[in-house]
Structure 1
C-alpha cells in the first residue's frame, strides 16, 4: 500500500543512505514510499554495501522495519532477490530465524515491483 514516509522513516533512510539528497526517485520522479527499495536500488553499490549499510541500524530500528513489512507498509517487491536473501540472513542473525521466516512469507506474498512503492 502506498504511504508517505514518516519522520522516523526519513531518519532511518538518512542513516543508511546519508548521501541521499531528497526523497524523490530519480528514475520514476515519484516520491519514495518505502525504505529498503531505494537502499537496494539507488544507494547500495552491491549486496555487500547493502548489508553494511543495514548493520548501522539498532535493533529497535530493525524491529520497526519488520513491523512495516508485516503490516504491508514497507514494499519488498522492488528489492532484487539477491538483496532480499541477504536481508533475510541479516534478520535471522540479528533478530532471529522466526522473524526472518515471517518476513520471507511476506516477501512471497508480495506482488511485482510497482513504481509507486519505490
Structure 2
C-alpha cells in the first residue's frame, strides 16, 4: 500500500537551517520578504526559482550547490507538506526531480513527483 504524504503546504516560519540553505542558493537574498507580495518567504524553493534564478538553467545551477544532506532535508520537507512546489515552473520541478534521482535515489525522485502531482497550486 502506498505511503500517504501531507501534500498541502502550510505556511511556516523559516528555521535557521532553511535560511542558511536559502542564502546558499541565493546569496543575493538581502531579506526574507517577497518583493511582489510584501510577505515573508515560507519556503526555500519558490523564492529561488521565482525571484532569484534568471531561468531554469540558473535554477539548476543553484540547486546543484546543495549537499546530499540538504537535498534530503528539502525532500523530507516536501513530503511533510512544509516545502512548497506549487509555485515552481514545471521545468524547475523537473530539474529538481532529475537532481534527486541522480544524487539521492530514484525512490526520492518518485516520492517528490507524487507529492507534486497530488499537491496544491501556488497559494503563497
TM-score, structure 2 as length reference: 0.91
Verify: 1:110 aligned to 2:122, yes or no. Answer: no
The number of equivalent residue pairs is: 115
> For the aligned residues, what is the CA RMSD?
0.6
Indicate the SS of the match to 2:32.
Answer: coil
Q: How many Å separate the matches in 1 of 2:65 and 2:85? A: 20
Higher normalized helix content (fraction of residues): 1
Gap regions ≥5 residues in structure 1: none
Indicate the SS of the match to 2:51.
Answer: helix
Aligned pair partner of 2:80 in 62, 71, 85: 71
TM-score, structure 1 as length reference: 0.95
Gap regions ≥5 residues in structure 2: 1-9
- 1:1-118 maps to which residues of 2 (within 5 A)? 1-115=10-124
1:35 Cα offset (Å): 0.2
Q: How many Å separate the matches in 2 of 1:59 and 1:84? A: 17
1:90 Cα offset (Å): 1.0
